[in-house]
Amino acid sequence: MAGGTDEKGWRRRMRRIKYGFEYSALRGLAGLLHMLPIDVGSWLMGAIWRLIAPHLRRHERALRHLAAAYPEKSRAEIEAIARAMWMQLGRTFAEALISERIIRAGRIDDRTGPQLDAVKASGRGSVFVSMHTGNWELVIYPTLARGIKAAGVYQRMKNPKVDDYVMLARRDRYPRGLFAKGGDIARKLMRIVREGGSVALLADLRDRRGVVVPFFGRPAPTTPFPALLARSNDAELVAARCVRTGGVHFYIETEIIAVPRTADRDADIAEASRRIHALFEQWIREHPEQWMWAHRRWG
């Protein structure tokens, strides 16, 4: 018994050391990025990811997904898209630590136009859906600029110190609250939308318990939750994307997605989910190197 207790204590100490090292490294990196010019820090992190990531297991997964989505492309073309994707993801990682600098520097071209003004003026609840493309950490910016107070959801990290740091950096972008996945989060978000508030969600990852929709010609298990929120609360469903136009410059645009409201609630939710992903696919095909192909989206 004593040996088992000692082993558990040793593991806890090692975990604390590991977490402390990770947190210190993250804070040090954030400090460095705040000192460097925006473009230099972003490019440097992107170049590091582009150099290292092709040697990791996820690179092969990204190549498989790209080959299935673009059967007409050669191996060399697929490889080039994948490597550009890693550059993009490395840039996004760095930029997430200096998002406020990017916003203050005027690097975002807001093309949401009258759509968000109309959503705000309607007085109805709204559900914003986006995907891991461009710099998705910035995609919430136009709602803030128009005084639309949205709630957000994030995946809690194992390291509690890193989790607190990242959550605090994002919190001000979500005036109605930033909630970790799990627990009674669905009820909280449902109440916000029912009361005329807004919720922002990333909706392009796999959900094994979700509905199956076609995505790049293959069945993809998909979360029905955004469509459920909109359908159940007579809310607007708004898709948004952030597109990198070069270096650390972006545009953000939105598109309203019509939500069916027939006597068959489940069919309506499935169809709205299909429409979301049809638009996502259209957008991804315009800039395939900017989407995160390395996730287990289909299987």
Q: What is the pLDDT of residue 168?
A: 87
State pLDDT tens for residues 95-120: 999 999 999 999 999 999 888 999 98
Mean pLDDT of 198-218: 95
Res. 181 pLDDT band, cuts 50 70 90: confident
* 127 Cβ contact list (under 8 Å, min separation 6): 193, 198, 199, 201, 226, 229, 230, 235, 236, 237, 238
Pairing mode of beta strands 178-180, 206-215: unpaired
CA distance readout (Å), 288 to 54, 131, 274, 296: 17, 12, 20, 16
pLDDT: which is higher, 44 or 10? 44
Q: pLDDT tens across 22-69, in order? A: 999 999 999 999 999 999 999 999 999 999 999 999 999 999 999 999
Q: What angle do CA 123, 199, 188 make, to 5 degrees?
A: 105
Give yes or no for residue 3 having a pLDDT over 60: no
pLDDT tens readout for residues 239-292: 999 999 999 999 999 999 999 999 999 999 999 999 999 999 999 999 999 999
d(CA 81, CA 163): 31
Q: What value does the mean pLDDT of the chain take?
A: 94
Q: Which two tokens stand for residue 169?
A: 């950096």
CA distance 111 to 242: 10
Report DSSP letters for 104-116, one per residue. Answer: HTT-EEE--HHHH
Query: In the chain, where are the structural domains located?
Result: 2-101, 107-290
This prediction's pTM: 0.92
The pLDDT, as a whole number, for residue 241 is: 97
Q: What angle do CA 176, 93, 69 make, to 5 degrees?
A: 95
| Tens digits of residue pLDDT in 219-252 | 999 999 999 999 999 999 999 999 999 999 999 9
